[in-house]
Amino acid sequence: MIYIRWSINSTPETLLDEGQVFDDDAFERPVETLVQTQFHPPIHTPTHTPTHTPTQIPVVYDTIKWKERQNAVREAFKHAWGGYVRDAWGCDEYHPISHRGSNLTGIGIGFTIVDSLDTLLIMDLKEEFQHARDWVARSLDFEQNGNVNVFETTIRVLGGLLSAYHLAGNDTLFLSKAIDLGDRLLGAFSSSSGIPYASVNLALKQGIPAHFVGGASSTSEATTLQLEFKYLSHLTSNEEYWKKAEEVMFKIDSLEKLDGLVPIYLDPHTGNFVGKTITLGARGDSYYEYLLKQYLQTSRTENIYLRMYDQSMDGVKSRLVNYSSPSKLLYIGELLNDEFSPKMDHLVCFMGGNFALGVTLGKTVREVKHLNFKQLEDLRIGKELTKTCTEMYFRTATGLAPEIAYFTSLSGPEKDISIKKFDSHNLLRPETVESLFIMWRLTGDVQYREWGWKIFEAFENHTKYEGGGYTSLEDVTSIPPGRKDKMETFWLAETLKYFYLLFGPNDQIPLDKYVFNTEAHPLPIFMPTRKVRGQGWNRQ
């Protein structure tokens, strides 16, 4: 196999044989024609040349500039947090314009505060952290006769507590709260199939089916609990958490898939998929994320997850990856009853970084050195998708991305991206900055930081509410964009954390020592004990 190394000017310079050690300070790309021999894109795929010319890995960069930018993110967090503390302290959610909070159930379950704990630690906001910790100690009470969404509560609250436990130096307050919550969430797995119900009653510890699609659970929701439950099991030596979470994956593996791709609903009674919609957006996304991350979390001891991940990525590449016209932006579409749709949710934008993480497994590209054909292809897809996601920002009037974009096909009009009015809102979502952060850490290409800064400035310009907090937007395609009066908790937990880490030093939360759960809560990679490892499984 032959590779061409692309230099800073994107001029092919040197031919290398497969397995040959690459030059450290250049990026490598496979020859495009070779890519196409193995890569089977769906309909309308043009022969193309990548549009992104990577910048050379910087040896020296402007430390002061990035320090200042990182500090601007910290100030943004303080502004967001300050509004919440003043108007909505203790409430699950914050509505900055009406200066009030609201709860998901009863007295609330710490959605905003717990989701923010590790960001406070990472940003070294000591007083704010102490205030939040005091609230957890005195007021966080899960004994509430109310139903909460199992997935959201797991990724935000259980994940937030576990991450805070670790980052605060094994502070047992957070672990005891996590155990209490974990025991209540276990009630969701009481279905006949072991697939968790969508909701759980916290006091009764009872699973509650969803109120739609005949009580089906979302596939991504049922399969995005494993990192949290496994880490809880590891900390407590209680294998029950591990068993329940892993049983779901075992069931899913036995079901028929489309080249590793899964429909977005699961029936908790039969354990079968419901419908044929396949997407890496809403209700599908983090299934694919957690396949890879489960493999990473347990020190690469569970090969089954790497196999499942690889198979699903083959399906993504053969059935969902496509290119827009005229700029040939790579995007990941959807299948609606077997029909390809050129629709991509902003949620899909986590996949840029995920593709690259699947290649290097947390090391830098430089450290890995030998990249085979498939790895080079995945890295290229990761880079191109990340670029496309930034274009979803840069091509709107506000410089911010819509919730959903449609990509034009070869024969379509000139624009690559079209946005429907109904999809033009922005919820302060993190996925693009998450990918920028991962791409920066893995490749060292400063372009990812520069793009991140441009996006951060757009958030500052349009979502900052002078009265305190940040708000979601009605329509990113118009100025003014209109405000939605909601600051999602993932703005504090994810978006600002990823910006902060993107502009900061690389040794803070290194990617070969931590996996970020899907709500950006870093959990340490560990070696599973023999006891819990006994709960593992393999294909017959």
Question: Is residue 152 annotated as part of the catalytic site, yes or no?
Answer: yes
Least gap, CB of 302 to ligand DMJ (angstroms): 21
Residue 238 three-state SS: coil
Find residue 514's DSSP bridge partners. 524
Assess contact for 346 and 431: CB atoms under 8 A: yes
Question: Is residue 431 annotated as part of the catalytic site, yes or no?
Answer: yes
For residues 229 and 490, which CB has a smaller minimum distance to ligand DMJ in the complex?
A: 490
Catalytic residue among 93, 152, 377, 423, which? 152
Least gap, CB of 330 to ligand DMJ (angstroms): 21
Q: From CA 98, how far away is CA 467, in angstroms rounded?
A: 10
Site string for ligand DMJ, 339-378 (x = CB under 6 A): --------x-------------------------------
For residues 375 and 471, which CB has a smaller minimum distance to ligand DMJ in the complex?
A: 471
For residues 273 and 288, which CB has a smaller minimum distance to ligand DMJ in the complex?
A: 288
Least gap, CB of 383 to ligand DMJ (angstroms): 21
Residue 518, annotated as binding a ligand = yes
For residues 416 and 494, which CB has a smaller minimum distance to ligand DMJ in the complex?
A: 494
Q: From CA 57, how far away is CA 71, in angstroms rounded?
A: 24
H/E run at residue 113: helix 111-122
Q: How many CA atoms lie within 13 A of 357 on its CB side?
A: 31
Question: Is residue 75 annotated as part of the catalytic site, yes or no?
Answer: no
Residue 67 three-state SS: helix
For residues 30 and 430, which CB has a smaller minimum distance to ligand DMJ in the complex?
A: 430
Nearest to 433 by CA among 363, 503, 482: 503
Residue 483 three-state SS: strand
Least gap, CB of 449 to ligand DMJ (angstroms): 21
Q: From CA 45, how far away is CA 32, in angstroms rounded?
A: 13
Helix count and strand count (H, E) for the chain: 20, 20
Assess contact for 336 and 284: CB atoms under 8 A: no
# binding residues, ligand DMJ (CB under 6 A): 8
For residues 501 and 532, which CB has a smaller minimum distance to ligand DMJ in the complex?
A: 501
Q: From CA 57, how far away is CA 26, in angstroms rounded?
A: 7
* Site for ligand DMJ, residues 428 to 447, rule: CB under 6 A: 429-430
Question: Is residue 474 annotated as part of the catalytic site, yes or no?
Answer: no
Catalytic residue among 228, 285, 416, 423, which? 285
Q: Per CB under 6 A, does 288 bind ligand DMJ?
A: no
For residues 289 and 445, which CB has a smaller minimum distance to ligand DMJ in the complex?
A: 289
Q: From CA 518, how far away is CA 152, in angstroms rounded?
A: 10
Please state the three-class secondary structure of 436-448 as a single string: HHHHHHHHCCCHH
Least gap, CB of 331 to ligand DMJ (angstroms): 18
For residues 136 and 347, which CB has a smaller minimum distance to ligand DMJ in the complex?
A: 347
**CA distances from residue 529 to 113, 166, 171, 238, 513 in whole angstroms, order as listed:** 32, 18, 22, 11, 17
Least gap, CB of 420 to ligand DMJ (angstroms): 19
Assess contact for 110 and 92: CB atoms under 8 A: yes
Assess contact for 17 and 28: CB atoms under 8 A: no
Catalytic residue among 115, 377, 431, 519, which? 431
Site string for ligand DMJ, 503-522 (x = CB under 6 A): ---------------xx---
Catalytic residue among 118, 267, 403, 416, which? 403
Least gap, CB of 347 to ligand DMJ (angstroms): 6
Least gap, CB of 129 to ligand DMJ (angstroms): 22
* Site for ligand DMJ, residues 268 to 287, rule: CB under 6 A: 286
Instruction: Name residue 166's amino acid.
Output: H
Q: Per CB under 6 A, does 294 bind ligand DMJ?
A: no
Q: From CA 440, how far away is CA 57, in angstroms rounded?
A: 10
Nearest to 149 by CA among 227, 214, 212, 81: 212
Bond prior to 510 in cis (omega within 30° of 0): no
Position closest to ligand DMJ via CB: 518
Q: Is 186 left (phi over 0), alpha (psi -120 to 50) or beta?
A: alpha
User: Two tokens at 466?
Assistant: 């002078």
Assess contact for 161 and 175: CB atoms under 8 A: yes
* Site for ligand DMJ, residues 301 to 320, rule: CB under 6 A: none
Q: From CA 400, how far away is CA 390, in angstroms rounded?
A: 9
Binding site, annotated residues for Ca(2+) = 518
Binding site, annotated residues = 518
Give me the active site residues, please: 152, 285, 403, 431
Residues within the interface to ligand DMJ (CB under 6 A): 286, 347, 429-430, 490, 494, 518-519
